[in-house]
Chains A and B, each alone.
Chain A
Amino acid sequence: MDLTHTPEEEEFRARLREWLAKMLPSLPAKPSPDDWPGRRAYDLGWQRMLHDAGYAGLHWPVDAGGQGATPTQHLIFLEETEKAGAPYVGANFVGLLHAGPTIAAEGTPEQRARWLPPVLRGEEVWCQGFSEPDAGSDLAALRTRAWRDGDDYVVSGSKIWTSHAEVADWCELLVRTDATAPKHRGISWLAMPMDAPGVTVRPLRTLAGSAEFAEVFLDEVRVPVANRVGAENDGWRVTMVTLSFERGTAFVGEVVACRRVLGELARTARKNGRWDDPALRRRLGTLNAEFRTLWRLTQWNVSESERTGGVPGAGGSVFKLRYSHARQELYDAAAEVLGPDALDQGREWTLDRLSSLSYTIAAGTSQIQHNIVAERILGLPKGR
């Protein structure tokens, strides 16, 4: 067991720190949370800066255009960028953490050449078209159909809760290509251009008031067969690859951010007198333990994936369960520190509190994660 870093890793950290200190002051002002085109431009701009400095796709394989960094270096990257207050992946989330790694792992050389460089260079945004109105937790129940017509698939159906759909260029789309096969077998994974005729995006307002995600209607949308990643009807397996990336590493930077917020909370409490309440102090102390330990869990999981050299394992579900809960606790504690101000939506912590409510739902609900832990790690029988 070792938590120290090699001289190479420390050098990597030092170089990165120096670069961040130089570049961050040159960033434009942050767009307002509701300005989606502004957010897209801001996030892509940041990605271009990373690309030019050789930090784009740090953890991607070199033959996919990445830097082939070790998972530990990736961890250092996430830690340092967050500590320095650098922008979060934002609109690049699906492309960098999800669709990109999936295409890198499962795509043909042509597909990799077509889609990976624009993600890394900050030119194209992806969204995730998995969920449907009647297929959420039971994702394999999806019904959006695709049938062959010459060199195209013709796609009809609808998707829901599609984050960033309004500003996306591409959608990683799950469709049913064989309606007669058992439900997990008849699915295919397509890259769909969002500007194709027949695609309609209707924004949905979240409980925080913003248009974070959307409904996407697909009316005989033509998608070239060449845009299918993986074999026809093998999309479920490809999807499992995608989801393990989502749960494995996607929240790491946020844990660092939560530790920073916690410190701010404590200092605010000190100023406004709430700190004198031992119950609140103990609560914040417990949260400190929580985020420290989530960081340790991340280091453990990353070391494990470094050893096995592969896709993050079911341990990601352990992390996601605890993290989503801890994040909600953090902002509940923030509300206690703020008192009546916690009801002011103009406060950053208030908005964050609202958005934290999605963490136990998005990317697989806590109930589903508990099933995964119980069945895949503990080997308990599936319910009938």
Chain B
Amino acid sequence: MHFQLTDDQSALKAGVRELLEGRFGRERLRAAVEAPRLDRALWRELGDAGFFALRLPEADGGVGLGLPEAVLAFEEAGRVLLTGPLVATHLAAGEVAGAATGEAVVTAAYGGLVEWMEQADVVRGDVAGARGVTAAGGAAAAEARASVASVASAEPMESLDPLTPLHRVRGSGGSYGSVDPLAVLLTAAEQLGTAARTCELAVQHARTREQFGQPIGAFQAVKHLCAQMLVRVEMARVAVYAAAVTADPLDIASARLFADQAAVRGARDCLQVHGGMGFTWESDVHLYLKRAWVRTQRAGSATQSEEGLAAELVAGTA
């Protein structure tokens, strides 16, 4: 048992971080808020870097890595709030033409919501009534469109998260039954990245912002908020990493609960530490919180995870 990152895994994580910080830094993030369009050039760069084909066997043109590596990459994506239907496209690699290389943008109807529907080439999921979804895309995308399970009664909503356009799918609101556990896990990994980042932002601010003649981080009320953020991040981290190693559905359910909690509570506490500034549009804190909220609705629900974990406790008894 060596439940720590290997050197290769650390290197991969650092590499993805460098790529994303270079290509989707704070300025890009803020620009995206003003014009939430899917950056297809970036999508293809991610494809070239192997982000979508990470788990595809090398024989099929993939990178041939496993779930732990995918989780590390998605953690980094969550850290910078990378936009677009990353999870759905990653899971479509090898199944939908063009997804692995980033030529096709694939989204999915998860839990009654579809993210980025109008800009995606392909919508996957069990959605009743079909309407072809068309969007720009290469030849591979055009080919993929033939196999689109598309969305008839999806209605756009004014998305709470300015970085994630959302459609509501009528009539499928409660049918989470067949949610792919990998979608849950990769979403949890994104939540982990967001949680770790908001903890860092809160700590940075607490070290530098002064009130009453000292850094606010010297006050225990603030210090303890930050410590609690870190504790939640570390619980989420081990839960997500362990689930990536075992791929066990209940490990994944645990990962979801801790990651959701770390991301949502972390963003709230980060806002609190930033005071009035945290309540402004200018500050990034709300973007972290809103994205975390969107992810809590993706791919099943916390209730489902809790019920699954509860069922395990009585399994095997009459």
Interface residues of A, Cβ cutoff 8 Å to B: 1-6, 9, 72, 262-263, 265-267, 270, 275, 278, 281-282, 284-286, 288-289, 292-294, 296-297, 299-300, 302-304, 306-307, 315, 318, 321-322, 367, 369-371, 373-375, 377-384
Beyond A306-B2, A318-B230, A383-B223, whether A286 also contacts B238 by CB under 8 A is: no
Interface size (B, Cβ < 8 Å)? Answer: 53
CA gap between A374 and B230 in the complex, in Å: 8
* A-B interface contact total, Cβ < 8 Å: 171
Is B231's CB under 8 angstroms from A374's CB? no
B218 at the interface (CB under 8 A from A): yes
Is A286's CB under 8 angstroms from B309's CB? yes
CA gap between A244 and B170 in the complex, in Å: 55
Is B303's CB under 8 angstroms from A282's CB? yes
CA gap between A377 and B230 in the complex, in Å: 9
Is A321's CB under 8 angstroms from B309's CB? no
Cross-chain contact of A282 among B4, B237, B250, B306 (Cβ < 8 A):
B306
Is B245's CB under 8 angstroms from A289's CB? no
Residues of chain A within 8 A of B307, CB atoms compared: 278, 281-282, 285
Q: Is the interface of A mostly helix, strand, loop or mixed?
A: helix
Is A289's CB under 8 angstroms from B314's CB? no
- Enumerate 17 A-B pairs (CB-CB under 8 Å) in ascending A order: A265-B313, A282-B306, A282-B307, A286-B309, A289-B306, A293-B258, A296-B3, A315-B234, A318-B230, A367-B224, A371-B224, A374-B217, A374-B230, A377-B227, A381-B214, A382-B218, A383-B218
User: From B243, which residue of chain A is reached at the shortest CB distance?
Assistant: A296
Residues of chain B within 8 A of A367, CB atoms compared: 220, 224
B6 at the interface (CB under 8 A from A): yes
Residues of chain B within 8 A of A380, CB atoms compared: 203, 206-207, 215, 217-218, 223, 226
Is A270's CB under 8 angstroms from B314's CB? yes
Beyond A285-B308, A289-B254, A378-B226, whether A72 also contacts B313 by CB under 8 A is: no
Residues of chain A within 8 A of B288, CB atoms compared: none
B312 smallest CB distance to A (angstroms): 6
Residues of chain B within 8 A of A300, CB atoms compared: 3-4, 237-238, 241
B172 at the interface (CB under 8 A from A): no
Of residues 223 to 268 in B, which have CB atoms within 8 Å of A's CB atoms?
A: 223-224, 226-228, 230-231, 234-235, 237-239, 241-242, 244-246, 250-251, 253-254, 257-258
Interface residues of B, Cβ cutoff 8 Å to A: 1-6, 9, 68, 199, 203, 206-207, 214-215, 217-220, 223-224, 226-228, 230-231, 234-235, 237-239, 241-242, 244-246, 250-251, 253-254, 257-258, 303, 305-314, 317
Residues of chain A within 8 A of B234, CB atoms compared: 297, 315, 318
CA gap between A289 and B242 in the complex, in Å: 12
Is A2's CB under 8 angstroms from B308's CB? no
Is B224's CB under 8 angstroms from A292's CB? no
CA gap between A311 and B279 in the complex, in Å: 43
Beyond A297-B238, A379-B207, whether A288 also contacts B310 by CB under 8 A is: yes
Going nearest first, the 8 A-B pairs with the smallest beta carbon separation are: A266-B313, A285-B310, A285-B306, A285-B309, A289-B254, A380-B217, A373-B227, A374-B223
